[in-house]
Amino acid sequence: MRKKKLRSLSQRQAFVGRLFVYPWLIGFLIFFAYPFIRSIIFAFSELDLTPFGLKLTFIGFKNFIKALQEDPTFIQYLTLEVTNTIVNIPLILMFSLFIAILLNQRFKGRAFIRAIFFLPVVVMSGALLYVLESNTMEQFYIGAQTGMAMSNSPFVRGIDFRMFLIQITGNIPFVRPLIDAINRIYEIIWKSGVQILIFLAGLQSIPSSLYEVASVEGATPWESFWKVTFPLLSPIILVNVVYTVIDSFTDYSNDVLRYILEVAFRRLQHGYSSAIAWLYFLILGTILLLLVIFISKRVFYISE
């Protein structure tokens, strides 16, 4: 009788789990399955517009070879995005963990401070982020030469400080690393909201009894962090690494994605755009797979 009840409970849990999966599966089959398959066909074909409609000509791997050997723009954008992601991942994770530890403490106004750090995630959209990221270095140089320094910009992102650096140094290439550092700080804070919440959930899931035992054994707060907090947060770190990589590679300000859209809808090279999109997806998947394999070997789970 007891086994029967357990079996029925497991069946109910499995049914509830399937209910959460079905909406995504149905949506994928209705809206994404057909474009997904067509994009694979386009990647190996050349698409031409004729008076009789679209004409597909199978060309094999020529689009992929062109992307890797004949298109310097794609290689440049891809290298830039991979480099930025490699640099941003540890910075975002360290900043998110540091802020999560602070927000996990008990103090007045804690909910308000948490909302402030999560606010960029709430208001962030592709269009808004694109506007914020549109303040490029070239625009700033033009402003510096005319003495305006983009004073009419509705968004202030350290522009006055960068103008001050240029005025006192008179050498724009010299201050470029400092300007890039200022922009990177902004980007890291902007993209850390979800990671902070995930780390907060992980911190609150750690049993307080472990800290009590560590305190009885004479461990300092610093030792408790490295012996208790950090090992138990290793699964959360893995989740945040995967999320950060995907978020970085699929961000609207990503130069590779914008280049794919340009090739598809401005140059009307749909076959080539599908090829570089799939090539980009495969590179992203390979990076994720390597990171998951590397980090999973160092993830610590509490044995029950």
Q: What pLDDT sits at residue 149?
A: 41
Work out the angle at residue 36's Cα, subtended by the Cα atoms of residues 31 and 39, and round it to the nearest 5 degrees. 130
> Would 291 be classed as within a structural domain?
yes
Q: What does pTM read for this prediction?
A: 0.72
Is there a domain that residue 13 lies in? no
Compute CA distances 129 → 124, 187, 233, 284, whole Å: 6, 10, 30, 22
pLDDT band at 139 (very low <50, low <70, confident <90, very high): very low
Whether residue 153 has pLDDT greater than 60 = no
Domain count, the chain: 1
Residue 23 has pLDDT above 60, yes or no: yes
Distance between CA atoms of residues 122 and 299, nearest Å? 30
Give the distance, in angstroms, between the CA of residue 254 and the centroid of all CA atoms in the same chain. Answer: 10
At 136, the pLDDT band (50, 70, 90 cuts) reads very low
Q: How is residue 217 written in tokens?
A: 């054994």
Is residue 6 one of the residues assigned to a domain?
Answer: no
The range of the structural domain enclosing residue 248 comes to: 44-296
pLDDT of residue 304: 52
Residue 51, token pair as written in the block: 């008076």
pLDDT tops 60 at residue 160: no
pLDDT at 132: 54
Tell whether 243 is covered by a domain. Answer: yes
Share the mean pLDDT of the chain.
77
Q: Please provide the DSSP assignment of 26-47 as one string.
A: HHIIIIIHHHHHHHHHHHTEEE
Q: 258 in a domain, yes or no?
A: yes
What pLDDT, on a 0 to 100 scale, did the predictor assign at position 26? 92
Task: Please state, as a whole number, how many other Cβ atoms lie within 10 Å of the Cβ of residue 199.
Answer: 25
Confidence check: pLDDT of 11 > 50: yes
Place 157 in a pLDDT band, splitting at 50, 70 and 90. very low
Residue showing tokens 């995630």: 121
CATH of the domain at 151: 1.10.3720.10
d(CA 137, CA 189): 20
Q: How confident is the model at residue 86 (pLDDT cuts 50, 70, 90)?
A: confident
Helix (H) or strand (E) holding 49: strand 45-50
In this prediction, residues 274-298 reach a mean pLDDT of 89
pLDDT (0 to 100) of residue 138: 44
pLDDT of residue 151: 41
Q: Is residue 16 one of the residues assigned to a domain? A: no
Instruction: Check: CB of residue 296 under 8 Å from CB of residue 238.
Output: yes
pLDDT (0 to 100) of residue 49: 72
* Residue 53 counted as domain residue: yes
Question: Which has more pLDDT, 132 or 47?
Answer: 47
- Which of 35-49, 134-148, 195-209, 267-281 is predicted with the least confidence, judged by mean pLDDT? 134-148
In a domain, 35, yes or no: no
In this structure, what token pair is assigned to residue 202?
């992980």
The SS3 call for residue 12 is helix
